[in-house]
Structure 1
Amino acid sequence: MAQHAPWTSLQPAPPEGQGPTEGPPSAEQVLPQFLQLFAGAGSRAKAGMVRDLLAILEAADCQWLLGGCPGNATPVILRDLVFALSSYAALPQQEHDGGELPSKDPSYAAAADRAADVSLVFRSILAKVEAAKGSEELGCQVAGALLCHLAGPMYVFAVTHAAERPWSRPRTQSLAQELLEDLLQVWGCQSVPEFLRGAAEDEEGWFAVVMQSLKPELTKETWQRNPATKHVFSWTLQQVTRPWLGPHLEKVLPPSLLLSDDYRIENKILGVQCLHHIIRNVPGADLCQFNRAQVVHHALSNHLYSKEAQLMQVVLPCLLDLLPILERAPGRPSHQPPSAVPSDKVLRLVLTHMEPEHQLALRRVYAKNLPAFVERLGIHVARHLKRLQRVIVGYLEVYDGPEETARLAMLETLKRTIQHAWPRMTTRLAVLLQALLRLMWDTVANRTPTPEPVTAALLQGATECLLLLDRCSHGQVKVLLQGVQQSCQDDRLKECLRKVEEEPVEGFTPTAPKREF
């Protein structure tokens, strides 16, 4: 078909009893015929038809494509055309989600070639819409009526191919990005978030339309068939923030939970990232309605039993942002036993998993998030001091690699624990003092490849903890350290101990207010 001139290849048949019509046929004649022929053509013939269609669109003007719109059927025909071409360029469906996809899959290379041709057709259509905005005969009303039919599917198509994915190729990516830019320009938007949410708070954007376009592919039975769907949903969701996301909670929460509940780690991570974005950008009152926050908490709590550091790295911060919402939920009892408070339950479970953990990657993730949990509980961290002390001492004893991520985080955890639970520190002084001195000695005596800034940070953190312990124990640390400075041979360690020796004995003033649950 590509060998024929485009106008004659799609020439509609004349009405019965009449001769051939003069001049080129109208869009309302050409496009339905194209769709009819396209539906029954083979893959090779379809490729030629797409190129012919592109030639037609580039040769025509906006009046030919949009003349008489919105009163005519052209918008609906163009919508059907966009859907048909999107299906033609769609990725091969999978029977199940196989996780990581091979980048050299020949079926993806073929899909990328088809997507490149379709991108050119879509860009040509948008160019006609942009030209119509400046036309006296058509104007912005015609362009707006047409975009209502095209914006959703074109956006999904562009986002599917614009990012670097196993099915993407450089040319396809470039054309898809240009298509997305054209879509924004035609609608008069400066960015994708503005396109999705609207330029003003009271202006409705295209987010609901895009979610409606994705809805058939985001059910429990279908979301695994198209490998791009989850990425398009996740990326689109994270473009919409407060206060625009709240009204769409019912559209975005179920797919996020569906992803989070999958058996594959990469899908779990993607789902938790979506949930975290929802928690941060939807009012807490909306999340608490219909026990949504409890459902999200249950889904996240199940991940706490995972041994995957990458998953835990997104789960713990997400839980930290959810806990205040749960504890301020209407109808929650004001005085609950510690075992029933969500923050206490989560910290208790985290400490239980931290204590015997031997994977360095997972230990680092736990340690980095532990200071925030201590800060979250405030004075109530005293309920967990016995187990928290064991975890802190245990982690301070183990070399954590050149960056010393876990040890530095544990020093920060200890510092915040002393600040919040200082009246309970005196009885634990001997154990903590021994752990800190051992850490300082290991730091200056060890021949590990630890950078000097990290060594300095460890010594500084340990010294701050000693100073806090001395203040809350009214100078007992000075008494216990008598004679240690004289027997010390390392200048850096002697300098740290000297700071403690010279610190004036004062009463301890807590640095954070009591947290009420």
Structure 2
Amino acid sequence: MEPHGPRESPPWEGSSLPGAWPSSALGQAFSQILHQFAGQESRRGKARSAALEDLAALLEAKECDRLFEGSDASLRGMPEMLGQVAKALGKYAAPAEEPEGKGDRHSEVAEKAAAVALLFLKLLRKVEAAKSSLVCPAWKTSLRPLAGHVYVFAVTHSLEQSWTSPRSQEVAGQVLALLLQVTECGSVAGFLHGENEDEKGRFTAIMGLLKPDLTKDSWKNNPATKYVFSWTLQKVTRPWLSQHLERILPPSLLISDDYQTENKILGVHCLHHIVLNVPAADLLQYNRAQVIYHALFNHLYTREHHLIQAVLLGLLDLFPILEKALHWKGDGARPTTHCDEVLQLILTHMEPEHRLLLRRTYARNLPAFVKRLGILTVRHLKRLERVIIGYLEVYDGPEEEARLKILETLKLLLQYTWPRYDSQQSGVLRGKTPPIHPAELAQVYVQYTVLGHGVQMNTSQLSIPVGL
């Protein structure tokens, strides 16, 4: 990095006490660096570049080895100071929401991130050296306010995004790996929820750092925050995730409720992860499951096939939780379920749909709904019949994905809803030939449908069990 003109000597140079730091020299050095990061807008660019150079020189100084050593009064307050420095460095390299000139700004962000990552590597190596040279665990106290900011920076720039470059991703990945090594964690998941039951993880602290940027008015100011939140959330699974439900559910709903399809999909993935990894009892409390259901259901009116696919997968895993309290006692008609409501809407959209990608998406998920409802699929039989015939009549390309999934739906439909038939009644009736078994009728119908429309498929795989 090129120097930006002559500057005053840093306060740690020319110390009057050789071999020992004055009680305020170290604090003054870092305070000056923080002041340079918070300079006036007109001078901020040069001041921040100068601050990076000063910080690099400070970390390379021999006296700086005492940063993580000892616990005397001269180093009191340094952990908080280091946390503030790490926060300033992360903010300096954070991408900004830029509607115009995105390419130039993002390349500049990648360069800044690479420079900041090198500073974080130097700082973490100081911690690693202190671990092996000390008897007392003073380094743990200094690392605590530092680790969260380093993690957020590393995740922000190690993911492949528009503001990253191969170089910035590489050095950010090295920062994350060294952070795990210093904190003695075998994985990111262990870093977040703790390596064992007795150890408290850092997930709560990191969510606290992200919270100011995940409000309704601020979550779009930094485009990286939503990706850091989503990536971090999906690293924490059950049984650890349930205790953080109040922190993770509102941001997930907020992101999924955006007007941009990319954000909707990201939010839906977060909600799906919550459904999979939070116990049903916690989701049913305070009607959280209903809130998630309505958030997902509203996306079914879109025409983006990627979003529809994510929503349907999430709903299929949510149905067992919503219907957990429903028990049919056999004394009346079974109540309609959320699965019925979703299937009815899907079939309504499938009939007139002409876009191939959407048709394939709907057809891909239709068998799962038939399996879920079982015999109750008869409620939708007329509309299902129209959809099946309509989708088999339309050419779907060489792979025939939609047609094959519709045939799988037909097979399941015949298995679950075909009337029961007593095989003992298949003898001669009034001198006539025995009636055809329903399975044979189904096989004839499938063969006629498939071969009549030119679909190449082994129809023996669609045979109906004789017991049905």
Structure 1 length-normalised TM: 0.79
Alignment of 1:271-290 (within 5 A): 271-290=267-286
Residues 1:223 and 2:219 are matched in the alignment: yes
SS of the counterpart of 2:399? coil
> Structure 1 residues 187, 49: CA separation in 2 closer, same or farther (over 3 Å shift)?
same
The residue aligned with 2:144 is 148
Alignment of 1:320-335 (within 5 A): 320-329=316-325
CA distance in structure 2 between the partners assigned to 1:136 and 1:210 by the alignment = 28
| Superposition misfits of 4+ residues, deviation over 3 angstroms | 1-6, 22-26, 67-71, 332-340, 424-436, 462-465
CA distance in structure 1 between the partners assigned to 2:209 and 2:367 by the alignment = 42
Alignment of 1:186-205 (within 5 A): 186-205=182-201
SS of the counterpart of 2:31? helix
- Between 210-219 and 41-50, report the one with greater CA deviation: 41-50
Residues 1:508 and 2:446 are matched in the alignment: no
Assess if the C-alpha contact under 8 Å between 2:242 and 2:277 holds in 1. Answer: yes
* Residue segments in structure 1 that go unaligned for 5+ positions in a row: 15-19, 445-454, 472-506, 510-517
Alignment partner for residue 21 of structure 1, among 16, 20, 38? 16
* Residue segments in structure 2 that go unaligned for 5+ positions in a row: 422-436
- Between 345-354 and 58-67, report the one with greater CA deviation: 58-67
Residues 1:213 and 2:217 are matched in the alignment: no
> Structure 1 residues 431, 13: CA separation in 2 closer, same or farther (over 3 Å shift)?
closer
The residue aligned with 2:426 is none
The residue aligned with 2:103 is 105
The residue aligned with 2:428 is none
CA distance in structure 2 between the partners assigned to 1:357 and 1:430 by the alignment = 30
The residue aligned with 1:440 is 451
Deviation at 1:428, TM superposition (A): 12
CA distance in structure 1 between the partners assigned to 2:203 and 2:129 by the alignment = 25
**Per-residue Cα deviation, 1:165-208 (whole angstroms, up to 9, x for no partner):** 11111221111111101110000112111111111244321111
SS of the counterpart of 1:242? coil
Q: Give the CA RMSD over aligned residues.
A: 2.8
Deviation at 1:427, TM superposition (A): 9.3
Assess if the C-alpha contact under 8 Å between 2:392 and 2:453 holds in 1. Answer: no
> Structure 1 residues 64, 257: CA separation in 2 closer, same or farther (over 3 Å shift)?
same
Deviation at 1:5, TM superposition (A): 10
The residue aligned with 2:431 is none
**Per-residue Cα deviation, 1:401-454 (whole angstroms, up to 9, x for no partner):** 11111111111111111111121799999799556413224336xxxxxxxxxx
Assess if the C-alpha contact under 8 Å between 1:12 and 1:33 holds in 2. Answer: no
**Per-residue Cα deviation, 1:441-468 (whole angstroms, up to 9, x for no partner):** 4336xxxxxxxxxx3xxx22x3443x32
CA distance in structure 1 between the partners assigned to 2:271 and 2:85 by the alignment = 35
In structure 1, give the amino acid aligned to 2:134: E
Deviation at 1:85, TM superposition (A): 1.6
The residue aligned with 2:374 is 378
CA distance in structure 1 between the partners assigned to 2:299 and 2:443 by the alignment = 32
Q: How many residues align?
A: 441
CA distance in structure 2 between the partners assigned to 1:429 and 1:305 by the alignment = 39
Deviation at 1:386, TM superposition (A): 1.5
Residues 1:32 and 2:28 are matched in the alignment: no
**Per-residue Cα deviation, 1:454-497 (whole angstroms, up to 9, x for no partner):** x3xxx22x3443x32xx6xxxxxxxxxxxxxxxxxxxxxxxxxx
Assess if the C-alpha contact under 8 Å between 1:70 and 1:146 holds in 2. Answer: no
CA distance in structure 1 between the partners assigned to 2:335 and 2:305 by the alignment = 26
Deviation at 1:120, TM superposition (A): 1.2
CA distance in structure 1 between the partners assigned to 2:440 and 2:297 by the alignment = 34
CA distance in structure 1 between the partners assigned to 2:71 and 2:174 by the alignment = 26
Alignment of 1:16-415 (within 5 A): 21-23=16-18, 26-40=25-39, 42-60=44-62, 63-69=65-71, 72-93=76-97, 105-136=103-134, 139=136, 141-329=137-325, 340-415=336-411
> Structure 1 residues 70, 290: CA separation in 2 closer, same or farther (over 3 Å shift)?
farther
Assess if the C-alpha contact under 8 Å between 1:38 and 1:49 holds in 2. Answer: yes
SS of the counterpart of 1:223? coil
> Structure 1 residues 188, 434: CA separation in 2 closer, same or farther (over 3 Å shift)?
same
In structure 2, give the amino acid aligned to 1:77: M
CA distance in structure 1 between the partners assigned to 2:166 and 2:236 by the alignment = 27
**Per-residue Cα deviation, 1:23-66 (whole angstroms, up to 9, x for no partner):** 36642332123223443253123213212311221233564222
Assess if the C-alpha contact under 8 Å between 1:62 and 1:131 holds in 2. Answer: no
> Structure 1 residues 145, 387: CA separation in 2 closer, same or farther (over 3 Å shift)?
same
CA distance in structure 1 between the partners assigned to 2:5 and 2:306 by the alignment = 56
> Structure 1 residues 202, 391: CA separation in 2 closer, same or farther (over 3 Å shift)?
farther
CA distance in structure 1 between the partners assigned to 2:342 and 2:5 by the alignment = 69
In structure 1, give the amino acid aligned to 2:47: A
Share of identical aligned residues, percent?
A: 49
CA distance in structure 1 between the partners assigned to 2:13 and 2:65 by the alignment = 22
Assess if the C-alpha contact under 8 Å between 1:339 and 1:345 holds in 2. Answer: no
Deviation at 1:337, TM superposition (A): 5.9
